[in-house]
C-alpha cells in the first residue's frame, strides 16, 4: 500500500512511501480490537472512589442501648450500615482491581489493525519531515492547520523525542503527541487523524514487527 507524502506547507510532494504490508495491511478483527482497547482503558483507570465499611467508621464502640426491655429493635453499633453516618456496604474502595492482562501478540495484532484502518480510510498523514525553530504553539499549529483533517482530532507521532515540538503541540486543542515507539491501540482510536514523519514508520516497524 502506498501513501502520499506531505511537506510542512501542506503540499503533496512528488514522493510516495510504500507502507509495510505486515503493519498496514492486516485483516480486521473488530472483537480483538475492542478487547485490547477495553483492557488498555481499564489499565489506565485511576481508583479514586473509596468508602468506609463499619470497621473503618469512627465511633460505635459502645452498644447504643441494652438488648432487651426498651421496646426498640436490638442494635450493637451506631456505625452499622443501616444507621445514618454508618459504614457503607459493598461500596467502592481502593482495593478494587480493574487491571486486565492481554497477551503481547494480541496487543500487537490489534495495533496493526488500527494502523491498517487509518491507512485504508486515508486518515494517515505522512510528512517528509517535522521540525520547528522554536517551541512556539503558533508555529506547530500553522503546520497542522495546512494539513488534511483541519478541525478534527489529530495524533502526532514522533520518531524521537523533540522537546520543542512536544512543548509546541501540547496546548493545541484536539491534538495529542506521542513517541512512535510508545503508540497503542487506545491512543489510535481516540484520535481521527494520525500525523507522522516518514521516519516514524521505520520506528514502528522496528519496535513492533516480529523478530525472526
pLDDT digits (tens, 9 = 90+) for 8-22: 998 988 888 999 999
Residues 70 and 159 in one domain: no
Residues 65 and 164 in one domain: no
Residues 117 and 183 in one domain: yes
Burial 124-143 (b: 16+ CB within 10 A, else e): bbbbeebebeebeeebbbeb
pLDDT score at 96: 86
Residues 116 and 199 in one domain: yes
pLDDT score at 210: 63
DSSP states along 44-92: H---------TTTSS---S-SS-SSSSSSPP-S-TTSTTSTT---SS--
Residue where a domain stops, chosen among 66, 97, 128: 97
Residues 201 and 155 in one domain: yes
Residues 114 and 127 in one domain: yes
For the question of whether the overall pTM of this predicted structure is more than 0.85, the answer is no
Q: What is the dihedral of CA 111, 114, 115, 121, to 10 degrees?
A: 170
Burial 93-104 (b: 16+ CB within 10 A, else e): eeeeeeeeebee
Domain span at 89: 46-97
pLDDT score at 212: 39
Within its chain, how far is the Cα of 70 from the centroid? 59
Residues 150 and 194 in one domain: yes
- Number of structural domains found in the chain: 2
Q: What is the CATH number of the domain that holds 161?
A: 3.40.1370.10
**Local mean pLDDT, 10-residue blocks, the chain (212 residues):** 89 90 92 95 91 92 94 94 94 89 93 94 93 92 91 94 93 94 94 94 88 44
Residues 50 and 86 in one domain: yes
Amino acid at each position: 500500500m502506498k501513501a502520499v507524502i506531505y511537506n510542512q506547507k501542506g503540499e503533496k510532494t512528488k514522493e510516495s512511501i510504500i507502507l509495510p504490508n505486515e503493519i498496514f495491511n492486516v485483516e480486521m478483527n473488530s472483537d480483538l480490537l475492542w478487547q485490547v482497547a477495553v483492557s488498555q482503558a481499564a489499565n489506565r483507570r485511576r481508583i479514586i472512589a473509596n468508602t468506609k465499611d463499619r470497621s473503618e467508621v469512627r465511633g460505635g464502640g459502645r452498644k447504643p442501648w441494652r438488648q432487651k426491655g426498651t421496646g426498640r429493635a436490638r442494635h450493637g453499633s451506631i456505625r452499622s450500615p443501616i444507621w445514618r453516618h454508618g459504614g457503607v456496604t459493598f461500596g467502592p474502595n481502593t482495593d478494587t482491581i480493574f487491571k486486565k492482562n492481554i497477551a503481547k501478540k494480541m496487543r500487537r495484532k490489534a495495533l496493526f489493525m488500527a494502523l491498517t484502518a487509518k491507512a485504508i480510510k486515508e486518515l494517515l498523514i505522512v510528512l517528509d519531515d517535522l521540525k520547528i525553530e522554536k517551541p512556539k504553539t503558533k508555529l506547530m499549529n500553522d503546520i497542522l492547520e495546512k494539513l488534511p483533517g483541519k478541525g478534527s482530532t489529530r495524533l502526532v507521532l514522533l520518531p524521537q523525542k523533540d522537546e520543542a515540538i512536544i512543548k509546541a503541540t501540547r496546548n493545541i486543542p484536539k491534538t495529542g503527541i506521542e513517541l512512535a515507539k510508545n503508540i497503542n491501540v487506545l491512543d489510535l482510536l481516540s484520535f481521527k487523524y494520525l500525523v507522522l514523519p516518514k521516519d516514524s514508520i521505520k520506528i514502528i516497524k522496528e519496535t513492533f514487527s516480529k523478530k525472526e
